[in-house]
């Protein structure tokens, strides 16, 4: 049974070649046509823009890498400076402590000889050092400076720390809590 409009011809066209197209040849032909029309064709401008964009991105990556390296060197220099300063301070502190120790020892011997017994010299120096320690403890000097509110963004407490405990109220003699 035949219907109208259908032909008895095969569905595929035998006049066309059945060989697959060579993709490399096609791409090369396209490049040749785009190179000759690079100033006038949109593909040439787009290719030029893409090339310049790649160069710009590469320059930006190089700049970022150099900037990171500069920051690393700067941090290393700061760490080195702080380490040198701490080493110098440690050496000065050790020599200062030994100096104070020998001066106090000499003063103890001198006072002890003046009183006729070295033990009295050591006891007097120990008592003086005890009084100095008590005064310093009661005065509670601030040895470590806290950063200002402006430097920390206005917060008194660093984030994640425990809240400060208020100091107990000092009572005068005769007052009750």
Domain boundaries, the chain: 40-139
Average pLDDT, the chain: 76
CA dihedral sign, ordered 71, 76, 77, 81:
positive
pLDDT in tens, 1-48: 444 544 444 444 444 445 555 544 554 455 554 444 445 455 788 888
Closest to 36 measured CA to CA, from 25, 50, 47: 47
**Which residue did the predictor score with more confidence, 59 or 164?**
59
Chain centroid offset of residue 32 CA: 52
pLDDT in tens, 121-139: 999 999 999 999 998 888 8
At 165 the pLDDT is 59
* Helix, strand, or coil (residue 159): coil
């Amino acid at each position: 049974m035949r219907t109208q409009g259908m032909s008895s011809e095969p569905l595929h066209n035998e006049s066309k070649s059945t060989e697959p197209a060579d993709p490399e040849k096609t791409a090369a032909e396209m490049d040749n046509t785009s190179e000759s029309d690079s100033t006038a064709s949109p593909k040439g401008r787009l290719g030029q823009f893409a090339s310049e964009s790649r160069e710009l991105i590469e320059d930006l990556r190089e700049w970022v890498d150099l900037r990171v390296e500069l920051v690393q060197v700067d941090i290393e220099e700061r760490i080195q400076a702080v380490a040198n300063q701490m080493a110098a301070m440690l050496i000065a502190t050790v020599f200062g402590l030994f100096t104070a120790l020998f001066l106090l020892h000499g003063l103890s011997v001198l006072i002890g000889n003046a009183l006729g017994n070295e033990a009295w010299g050591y006891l007097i120096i120990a008592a003086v050092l005890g009084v100095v320690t008590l005064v310093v403890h009661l005065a509670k000097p601030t040895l470590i400076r806290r950063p200002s509110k402006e430097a920390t963004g206005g917060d008194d407490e660093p984030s994640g720390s425990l809240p400060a405990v208020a100091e107990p109220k000092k009572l005068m003699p005769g007052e009750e809590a």
